Structure 1
Amino acid sequence: MVAYIESLTAIQIILAINYLFVVVALFTVLFKNNNPTKTLSYIIILIVLPFFGLIVYYLFGQEYRKQKIFNRKNVLNQSTIKKYQKALAVDEEELVKLEEELLDGKVKLIKLLNSSEDAPLTRCNEVEIIRNGENTIPRIVEDLEKATSFIHLEYYIIRDDETGNMILDVLCNKAQEGIEVKLIYDYVGSSLSNATMERLSVAGVEFHPFMPVYFPKFTSKLNYRDHRKIAIIDGKIGYVGGVNISNTYFNGRNDMYWRDTHTRIVGQAVGSLQMHFFMTWDFVTEESYEIVNAHFPKCETSNRTALQIAASGPDTDWANIMEAIFTAINIAEDYVYITTPYFIPNDEMITALSAAAKSGVDVKIITPEQSDSWMAKHASASYFERMLESGVRIFYYQPGFVHAKTMVVDDVFTTIGTSNMDYRSFNINFEINALIYDEKISAEALSHFKIDLAESREVVLEEWEKRSFSNKLAESFTRLMAPLL
């Protein structure tokens, strides 16, 4: 009996400590003045689920964007960065001219981000859309081999398999030639053996993991991850898009056909990729690094493609990518065509897409029927019925897994990048997209969309409503986990 009382007292003490932390967390949640539904959800979890509620809150309830875990000023305050930004400053008169030239009333898109210090509008650019990893990776290798000054890479996934070694071998060779080579890789997404890291180190490659965590196999969805895919060569050539560096993304070396989209950029916008790379490098190394003019060379192309680089994550003041996509949908007049591997939209996207479709805009979404995640597939499916009822047309890609993250609007705007149409990309992960204002590029992106559309089957509302009870149950269950997927 005494032992029982003692054990009971111990439990009570532990619960008291739990609820002491809960009280602190509750005040924190309340004073954030967030969405009432979200706030109430966290309050219920914290009160009803001892210990587990605290774990959920501290993993997912923190607003790191406002806590500024990145000290971006270390980079943005450097004179070379300020010089680059000043050279790209666009006044109101130039925006009006740009609108008259090609934007067809959509200059709001540029204004949305142009006020941000790290998303300047660039006009001197040449853009190439590359289809699939087996075309993208050899092209990157080709440019890496020609590097004469420096190479900077930032990737969510880089593995030392056959495909990864195509890149890693070049990095080692270039570093041994005396060229500066820097690599940032996400600790959870990537997989590099100790032997590979030793090889990189001996060759002179500087490499750092992004936010190392313990037990990465069990925490892949529970952390703020660097989901970006950036390659910069000599400050003149840049790559950004959906293709990571591993056999999975290289058709012929994988188990399932992988449909992806990447971009190769030559020109001023590479400087924006460079700026974001430096901000991440500053974070992962915690070392001062002098940025010089050579990192932002003069544009060598005569092409005049207008382009902004939008980055978002806990290091940005605003959800830049989500706001850009939201604005593009809202001002669309003819069509919005989206390709995304994970369609788990937040309330803002649901409202924007539904309103656009109901107002007569042709809204089409291509998403995979074969998914690499059972939970993500069913969570995505839970949104279909409402979308279909509002007039949004949804298509299941058939040949394999579509991993491309693209949107084209009204023949004048295209975005290609790393951001999925889901909670994690909009609110949690570090993402980066190219926002392109150009009729030629939009036409090319549209042609790729039409090719994929021809290889997709449409989800019809009448048939969708007849799906099995087990599927509906799985959808409802996984939707509860949507913000965590």
Structure 2
Amino acid sequence: MIYIHWVFLSVYVITIVMVTMRVLMANRQPAKTIAWILVLVFIPIFGAIFYFFFGKTTHKERRIGQKSMDKLTKYAMLEFVEQKQLHLPNEYKELINLFINQNWVLPFKNNNAEIYISGYEFFPALLREIGKAKHHVHVDSFIFSDDPLGRIVADALIDKVRQGIEVRVIYDDVGSWKTKKCFFERMHVEGIEVYPFMPVRFPLFTSKVNYRNHRKICVIDGEVGFIGGMNIAKRYVKGIKSLAWRDTHVKITGAAVYGLQRAFLIDWFFVSRILINNQNYYPISKVADNDCLIQIVTSNPTSLWPEIEQGYVKILVSAKQYVYMETPYFLPTDPILFAMRTAALSGVDVRLMIPYETDTKIVEWASRSYVLSTVKAGVKVYLYKAGFNHSKILVADDSIATIGSTNIDFRSLENDFEANAFFYDKSTALKVKEIFLKDQEACVSLSDVQNLSHRPFLQRLWESMVRLLSPIL
């Protein structure tokens, strides 16, 4: 019996060595590699288990074949080519081309945008548009909750199916893990085509847990689309406990809906293996000719390049006057942190807004050292106190803005499937700027928060230790 301990120890050491070799061979960023090695070495047994759940990379896997991608892009491409007098703003031609060259993300003119800053505004608008649907409704949501609000949306979708309207729903299997399967089964029985994204099932569940569809997209009849940070859950109107939720979503009408449609249909092919490329899903836009230019940009862990991260970096290093950003979680990658510091040190007015109180304490602890390092470079940091600010927006120089699902953290920028709308339009940029400045009125400056600026040594040591895990949080 005494040899059992040695056998167990030998098996464990061999396992750790093999997993460590796999981590090294993945050729990730050194900081992320070191973080995983620390987890494997200092958290016996559970470190290896944790790695198999959250550490295995899928960067080398191709989600969709090129032929299928070409078919899914066909009609969006045709509508792009048919745009008359398309003028790209000189100051953002490089950024627009960056997105086009990465994944055929096309810019579309002739759009209208209506921004919502609360669930009280967004959900009535969503339900109104669903009610007006005449051909199809497409919903892609990280969380679809079985709560009063979720049931209202589900009932609206069921009502459309009974009218003969096509309804397709994608929900993230991990994001919606609290939602009972009977909730989605009811929709399926009623005729809604509903699929989970990367369902996590034993024993094929290890790496799938780490790569989630965090997008929030809805497309109605190919004419109206929604994108932003709000999931389908009552927290956006009721909050959680005493914490009110503040978020941003946008309704788009016009040609840019082709980009939203393409993003949804690619995800649909991924979850269902059903290729939908009919021109009926790309109707001719009814919006009058205007210069509101929008690109719908997606990113995912299987891409060759981190599209949205590169876009943020490009905006930061190209800014001339200011860049204002809101994010609920701030665990920036090295390129983002470097770009923020560079912009601030160059005299650009860089402002970062994060929640004073978050819904995840360990992320809050890990983010503090990042926040303080940006302050040293001249970034102005504001802590939102009127609830939990879950908004993900950026605006720069009164000329460009983005609204979407992407947080400024490792998970969103490297592991999740995300989607953002980039607006090259002064009117929209000024609206987003106004939203930021209004939110700023509900903030305190980091320099005014004594318990954050002058923390005891042990607290700072703990935060620095937690920061080591930030690439895998």
Closer/same/farther in 2, CA of residues 72 and 408 from structure 1, 3 Å limit: farther
Q: Is the 8 A contact 2:52 2:207 kept in 1?
A: no
Amino acid at match of 1:134: Y
Q: Is 1:188 aligned with 2:178?
A: no
Corresponding position of 2:158: 172
Which residues of structure 1 form unaligned runs of 5+?
none
Q: Is 1:21 aligned with 2:18?
A: yes
Q: Is the 8 A contact 1:248 1:255 kept in 2?
A: no
Q: Is the 8 A contact 1:75 1:278 kept in 2?
A: no
Partner of residue 61 from structure 2, selected from 67, 73, 92: 67
Question: How many pairs align?
Answer: 468
Corresponding position of 2:264: 277
Corresponding position of 1:125: 111
Residue-by-residue CA offset, 1:7-45 (whole Å, 9 max, x unaligned) = 2453255246526734xx62x555554434444555566
Closer/same/farther in 2, CA of residues 374 and 20 from structure 1, 3 Å limit: closer
Q: Is the 8 A contact 1:136 1:262 kept in 2?
A: yes
Corresponding position of 1:324: 311
Describe the SS at the equivalent of 2:143: coil
Describe the SS at the equivalent of 2:140: strand
Residue-by-residue CA offset, 1:107-130 (whole Å, 9 max, x unaligned) = 221111122344111112111111
Partner of residue 88 from structure 1, selected from 80, 91, 96: 80
Q: Is 1:144 aligned with 2:130?
A: yes
Closer/same/farther in 2, CA of residues 75 and 50 from structure 1, 3 Å limit: same
Corresponding position of 2:345: 358
Task: Give the CA deviation at 1:180.
Answer: 0.7
Question: C-alpha distance in 2, partners of 1:481/1:48?
Answer: 12
Identity over aligned residues, as a percent?
35
Describe the SS at the equivalent of 2:454: coil
Question: C-alpha distance in 2, partners of 1:35/1:220?
Answer: 18
Q: Is 1:76 aligned with 2:69?
A: yes
Closer/same/farther in 2, CA of residues 364 and 72 from structure 1, 3 Å limit: farther
Q: Is the 8 A contact 1:85 1:117 kept in 2?
A: no
Describe the SS at the equivalent of 1:385: helix
TM-score for the superposition, normalised by structure 2: 0.91
Closer/same/farther in 2, CA of residues 13 and 475 from structure 1, 3 Å limit: closer
Question: C-alpha distance in 2, partners of 1:9/1:31?
Answer: 28
Residues 290-309 of structure 1 correspond to what in structure 2 (within 5 A)?
290-302=276-288, 303-309=290-296
TM-score for the superposition, normalised by structure 1: 0.89
Residues 12-411 of structure 1 correspond to what in structure 2 (within 5 A)?
14-15=11-12, 17-18=14-15, 21-22=18-19, 26=21, 28-42=22-36, 51-68=45-62, 70-73=63-66, 75-78=68-71, 81-89=73-81, 97-100=87-90, 105-190=91-176, 191-214=178-201, 223-251=210-238, 255-285=242-272, 287-302=273-288, 303-411=290-398
Q: Is 1:427 aligned with 2:424?
A: no
Residue-by-residue CA offset, 1:256-302 (whole Å, 9 max, x unaligned) = 221110010112221111112112112222x3333200111111101
Corresponding position of 1:479: 467
Corresponding position of 1:4: 2
Closer/same/farther in 2, CA of residues 283 and 4 from structure 1, 3 Å limit: same
Which residues of structure 2 form unaligned runs of 5+?
none
Q: Is the 8 A contact 1:365 1:394 kept in 2?
A: yes
Query: Structure 1 stretch 439-448 or stretch 58-67: which is displaced more?
Result: 58-67
Amino acid at match of 2:88: L
Question: C-alpha distance in 2, partners of 1:281/1:357?
Answer: 41
Closer/same/farther in 2, CA of residues 360 and 329 from structure 1, 3 Å limit: same
Residue-by-residue CA offset, 1:354-407 (whole Å, 9 max, x unaligned) = 111111000111110021111111112121221111100100111111011000
Task: Give the CA deviation at 1:312.
Answer: 0.7
Residue-by-residue CA offset, 1:408-452 (whole Å, 9 max, x unaligned) = 000111000000010100001111000110000001111111100
Question: C-alpha distance in 1, partners of 2:329/2:207?
Answer: 16
Question: C-alpha distance in 2, partners of 1:465/1:260?
Answer: 27
Amino acid at match of 1:64: T
Describe the SS at the equivalent of 1:472: helix
Residue-by-residue CA offset, 1:82-118 (whole Å, 9 max, x unaligned) = 2421441599x978x4225xxxx23221111122344
Question: C-alpha distance in 2, partners of 1:322/1:189?
Answer: 22
Task: Give the CA deviation at 1:140.
Answer: 0.3
Task: Give the CA deviation at 1:71.
Answer: 1.7
Closer/same/farther in 2, CA of residues 94 and 329 from structure 1, 3 Å limit: farther
Describe the SS at the equivalent of 2:107: coil
Residue-by-residue CA offset, 1:303-328 (whole Å, 9 max, x unaligned) = 33101111111243321111101100
Question: C-alpha distance in 2, partners of 1:419/1:272?
Answer: 17
